[in-house]
Amino acid sequence: MSLFKRIKRSLTGSIQTDDYESRVISRNNNKTRSTFDPQILPPEISEREVEILKDCWNTVQQDVAKVGIITFVGLFETHPDVHDAFMSFRAVNTSDLEYNAILRAHALRVMGTVNKCIYRLDNRDKLQELMTEMGIRHKNYSVKIEFIDLMGPQFISSIKASLETVWTDEHEKAWDNLFKVMCYHMRKGMCSI
Ligand code: HEM
């Protein structure tokens, strides 16, 4: 069994491989953007969506490391080339334990950014500033711009699993809009240097 499947199994207790879902996410991600066009504006996030996002986040936060790790594992499974962009994963001659520790630390940092964005929904200028600077740093990490939009669908698929009893199309749209806004400003930052 592959390392990713072992990690997923240890987190979810399931031996299901999610291959079907992975293929769907992979197929839906063919429309990633490799340039930044400032004319194509991100969607508006409505007050109702802000409410949904904050509500969901309160629940997701109780298991934030798990959601983060499943997001990354899904990303690496569906897009193996993304894995190679991470120096920290390439550098170590990993045992499962070491790999898990790095993955967890990394996933928590990304979840920390989602957390900041949720709180900055009440101050959109700060959200934009945070994500533009994040984009500049990602450019310095040599991340390809077309990878940026890949994170949202994986994240949504992970939280959907923890919120399946309450999840509706409205939830899906609210999270999709949040990631579109985050990624718009990230790509903007990447193209500013
Ligand atoms: C919404 C999307 C994303 C968010 C919020 C995010 C957030 C972060 C954060 C918080 C860090 C820690 C360092 C820092 O703050 O500068 C980081 C590092 C990094 N991220 Fe992202 N990231 C996103 C998407 C991506 C994608 C799609 C890739 C694909 C390759 C990527 C590649 C990296 C790399 C290479 C590092 C450097 C750290 C290392 O090599 O260990 N990120 N990211």
Which pLDDT belongs to residue 91?
61
More confident residue, 92 or 101: 101
Q: Which domains does the chain have, with CATH numbers?
A: 46-190 (1.10.490.10)
Burial of 182 (0-12, 13-18, 19+ CB in 10 A): buried
Alpha carbon separation from 29 to 18, 22, 24, 100, 154 (Å, rounded): 16, 11, 9, 26, 10
State the Cα angle at 101 between 11 and 148, rounded to 5°: 80
27 or 35: which leads in pLDDT: 35
Q: Which residues are near ligand 1 (CB < 6 Å)?
A: 82, 85-88, 109-110, 113, 134, 137-138, 141, 143, 147-148, 150-151, 182-183
Q: Which residue has the higher pLDDT, 102 or 153?
A: 153
Minimal-distance CA residue to ligand 1 atom 22: 110
Residue whose structure tokens are 């193209």: 191
Tokens of 117: 């964005």
Q: 37 pLDDT exceeds 50? A: yes
Angstrom CA distances, 177 to 13, 56, 163, stand at: 31, 14, 18
- From the CA of 147, give the closest atom in ligand 1: 27
- pTM, full prediction: 0.87
Residue 28 has pLDDT above 70, yes or no: no
The CA 165 to ligand 1 mean position distance, Å, reads 30
